[in-house]
Amino acid sequence: MPICPYENRQLYFEDKGKGTPILFIHPPGMGRKVFFYQYLLTEDFRIILPDLSGHGDSKGRQEEFSIRGYAEEVKAILDHLDIQKAVICGYSSGGIVAQEFATLYPERILGMILSGGFPEVKSTLLKYEHLAGMFLLRKYPRALMKIIAGSHTENKELKQVLIDHMEKADLNVWYQFYQESLDYSCLNKVEQWDFPLLLIYGSKDFINKHIRNYPKGKFKAEFIANAFHQLPMKTWKSFNHIVFHFMMKIKCNKETH
């Protein structure tokens, strides 16, 4: 079983494929199973899928929750695998962890991909989406799991896989992840980044308005037509295609330097 021991935790992860490594960071509650279709990228790249502590098959949790603590877990996994540099992909609020890792360890990043990402909760709608998730998590956690799974896939078997994995999450950690994402900001850090940054949004996702908060010239943006927020699952073919081409550019740059 692939386990990274870190402080009082046992961090579970999957490590498949060969080549340029890309580590995927999941949103609150979901765990690594949300990247079910990104397994297909192992034909060309090394794919690393961790369950952050308090999620999925990882054991233990941070004594005092913080986004920085999750960024340190990402570093611990890369260190455990003896990977000096990787592409980091954060999905939704998982992008908050990716951006915190970039702030702390920019020298460890080959490139970064944010799917439905934001450097700060800058819209009222996104704020209330977080608050609604926190309310449901406290009052009706099972209902929230079904809502999230249903929004990601219509496949009944895969929907149950997502629900089963979410049921393993520590609800208090899940809640704190929402809270910390709501309060997080790296707006004053983005200008300092000096690595390729790819932003992927659904054309119908209201979160795509947050693209204006990233400095012009600091990123490449891709929009998937007629898509909402759940890109890694709902529009996985287009998502994987975009990721593939970004990764190939990273690979070429890596080989020429």
Complete domains list, the chain, with CATH = 3-255 (3.40.50.1820)
192: pLDDT strictly greater than 90: no
Task: Encode pLDDT of 5-48 as tens digits.
Answer: 989 999 999 999 999 999 999 999 999 999 999 999 999 999 99
106 SS3 class: helix
- Angle between helical axes of 171-183 and 124-139 (0-180°, round to 10): 170
**β-bridge partners, 25:** 90
**One-letter amino acid of 30:** M
68 SS3 class: helix
User: For residue 187, what pLDDT is reported?
Assistant: 87
Q: Which bin fits 226, alpha (ψ -120 to 50), beta or left (φ > 0)? A: left
Q: Positive or negative, the Cα torsion across 138, 204, 243, 182?
A: negative
Q: Please answer whether residues 67 and 3 qualify as being in contact, where contact means their C-beta atoms are separated by less than 8 angstroms.
A: no
The tokens describing 230, both together, are: 């759940």
- Taking the model in full, what pTM does it have? 0.95
User: For residue 56, what pLDDT is reported?
Assistant: 96
